[in-house]
Chain A
């Protein structure tokens, strides 16, 4: 059969990406390890932040920001700055503005944290910030929950991508509310959705991709693995596998057992004609 499939790409605000994995750049042991993990994950976007510079920073230099900047440039990846740590819309808008000047991108991963215990988004501050940032020309990717009313308000504010959490940031628990996530996916099939935060295992990533989410954003699950580079590769494969399964169209779950082996010709059957009829009705030509 001569069938050429259209290329399956992730499209965010009109930009297409071959990969559906977004990778955070924090909590790696070294810049070398981070660079290797990026190569293994082959991500669409790298998330970054803006911070005051501390002498002798984590990257081991007085000019940690400059070294990190160079490392980002060498990867050739597109950048998704965040507003991590912001607790008000005003903080988030100003952080986003500084990030835009630094990284020269309108993309912003919008975080407005409302609770210090589980780092849950503040839905009110999030919508206020999203509305303002859209007015300022940003392309907002909001970190949100699976709450439908919040997500619809974010879309009303002009967000063309949603990033619901799987679980609280950095927990690695995987999807805490599978039914809620799947309902969100089904209610707004037209908008790209990336599951962000709380993913711990490649199987979590694969699962949400099977449900029809468009991508996965993760950081700690890779950077805090025993072997971050191998885990980055595992996540890349899991995301691809989940996407393939979604496109392939999973079978419909059945309430009762259905034999996959044909009944036709089964030895020792007492009534071969009845056995044959049952098999045909069951559709025994499927594997």
Chain B
């Protein structure tokens, strides 16, 4: 199964949860995540089951005005 992460296709490891995806991708810390445009608190990663073609956004601190 593939999902869209930050606009790019990625293969999702089993089990198909957000937590498994994040373990596989190991994004630099700190980060926060949105699933299909909705914020997911870090406490809910393991419960967030992913479907084919879902969109995941992983964001980090950045400069801003």
Which residues of A sit under 8 angstroms from B62, Cβ to Cβ? 48-51, 53, 64-65, 68
Contact present for A102 and B59 (CB under 8 Å): yes
Contact present for B32 and A99 (CB under 8 Å): yes
B64 CB to closest chain A CB (Å) equals 3
**Contact of A65 with B28 at beta-carbon distance under 8 Å, contacts A52-B6, A52-B59 already known:** yes
Which residues of B sit under 8 angstroms from A48, Cβ to Cβ? 61-64
**Contact of A50 with B32 at beta-carbon distance under 8 Å, contacts A65-B61, A102-B59 already known:** yes
Of A24-32, A184-192, A231-239, the stretch lying at the interface with chain B is A24-32
Which residues of A sit under 8 angstroms from B30, Cβ to Cβ? 65-66, 69, 102
State A49–B39 Cα separation when bound (angstroms): 15
Contact with A along B36-65 (1 / 0, CB 8 A): 011101100000000000000111111111
Contact present for B65 and A50 (CB under 8 Å): no
B11 CB to closest chain A CB (Å) equals 19
Contact present for B64 and A49 (CB under 8 Å): yes
A184 CB to closest chain B CB (Å) equals 22
State A50–B31 Cα separation when bound (angstroms): 9
A contact patch SS: mixed
A110 CB to closest chain B CB (Å) equals 13
Contact present for B61 and A94 (CB under 8 Å): no
Which residues of A sit under 8 angstroms from B37, Cβ to Cβ? 90-91, 94
**Does B34 make an interface contact (CB < 8 A)?**
yes
Tell which of B7, B41, B60 touches A50, judged by Cβ atoms closer than 8 Å.
Answer: B60
State A100–B31 Cα separation when bound (angstroms): 11
A27 CB to closest chain B CB (Å) equals 7
A284 CB to closest chain B CB (Å) equals 50
**Contact of A81 with B31 at beta-carbon distance under 8 Å, contacts A52-B58, A94-B37, A94-B39 already known:** no
Which residues of B sit under 8 angstroms from A53, Cβ to Cβ? 27-28, 58-60, 62
B26 CB to closest chain A CB (Å) equals 11
Contact present for B61 and A50 (CB under 8 Å): yes
Contact present for B32 and A25 (CB under 8 Å): no
Contact present for B61 and A98 (CB under 8 Å): no
State A59–B28 Cα separation when bound (angstroms): 15
Interface set, chain A 94-126, CB cutoff 8 A to B? 94, 97-99, 101-103
Which residues of B sit under 8 angstroms from A82, Cβ to Cβ? 64-65
**Does B29 make an interface contact (CB < 8 A)?**
yes
Closest chain A residue to B35 by CB distance?
A94
Q: List 17 extra interface pairs beyond A50-B61, A82-B65, CB under 8 A.
A: A24-B64, A25-B63, A26-B65, A47-B64, A50-B60, A52-B58, A58-B63, A68-B61, A69-B61, A72-B61, A81-B64, A91-B37, A98-B59, A99-B32, A102-B59, A170-B65, A219-B65
A-B residue pairs in contact (CB < 8 Å), sample of 6: A24-B65, A66-B29, A68-B63, A84-B64, A98-B34, A102-B31
The chain B residues found within 8 Å of chain A, CB to CB, are 6-7, 27-34, 37-39, 41-42, 57-65
